[in-house]
Every structure is written in C-alpha cells, then in structure tokens.
Amino acid sequence: MLVDIVFEDPRWEAADLTGLADGAASAVIDYLALTPPFGDAFEISLLACDDARIAVLNGDFRDRQSATNVLSWPSEERAADNAGGNPIPPEDPELGDIAIAYDTCLREAGEQGKEFPHHVSHLLVHGVLHLLGYDHINDKDACLMEGLEVEILGKMNISNPYEK
C-alpha cells in the first residue's frame, strides 16, 4: 500500500499522519482481502490540510461552504449496482484522493471524547472505503459501510466510533 501525502499543514507531521494513514489504508485492504491488479501496490494520494483549505475543496466539489473532516475522490466509479451490495473491486491500482482537515478532526475528537489518533484513523478508514465504492447515502449502504468501519477499526484495537 502506498499513501502519498502532501503536507499543507505541518501539525499533521507532528501527529504522525504517515503512520496513521499507512495503518488505516493497509487495514482496509487487508480486511477486504483485495489484491492490486498487475501485482502493483494500491496507491492513494492524501492531502493533509487545515479547515480553510478543506472548506474551499468542500465548496468547489460539494457546493458546501464550510469545513468538513474528510473528503474523498475515487479514481473510478466502483459503487454497487444495488443498495447494500458490495462495490466492484478496483481494476486500477490508483484508488483516488483523500483530503483531511486537522482543525475539524481535533475539534471533533475533543467533543466526542476520543483519542485524536483513533478519530483520525476512523476518518481515514472511512475515506478509503469511499475510494473503494462504499457509501452511506441510503440506510442499506450506511449499514454496510459502518459495519465494515467498526470491524476494521476493531482489528486495529480502536473501539466502535458509533457507540456513545
């Protein structure tokens, strides 16, 4: 697994985003037992930014003029044909791009009483699943995706992020 990180916000380097991203991405790929085509490694580009930068991206791509925690852009459409179904396995080793905002992640972790690295790992698992075609637009898809997140995070010794 290759995660190529562009550090726009240096706080991410101090938070060991490289280790968190490698761990989260590998955990997803391993759990789903995906094998990269042609024997190559899967690739993800990750933008480590702040709230100002992700707000611009959120406005440009989702028409929402506010910061968010994580955004993802799959390199190709992989969604399942039916709600609650498993997406199409990747045919290209390049999975897509993710952006993650330090300020929002830090604030959410504090508000939710979670360890910052655990919250970031959850959001990265979430983003990688989006790159692989999983979504949470309808109830069946959300149930599938959240269940996978909980199981993958459990294997990483991170508790269920959806429990209060």
Please give the annotated binding residues, written as ranges.
Answer: 126, 130, 136
Separation CA 10–CA 30 (nearest Å): 29
Report d(CA 145, CA 149) in Å as an integer: 6
Binding residues for Zn(2+): 126, 130, 136
Helical (H) or strand (E) element with 11: helix 11-14
Residue type at position 146: E
3-state SS record for 104-138: HHHHHHHHHCCCHHHHHHHHHHHHHHHHCCCCCCC
Cβ neighbours around 95 below 10 Å, total: 31
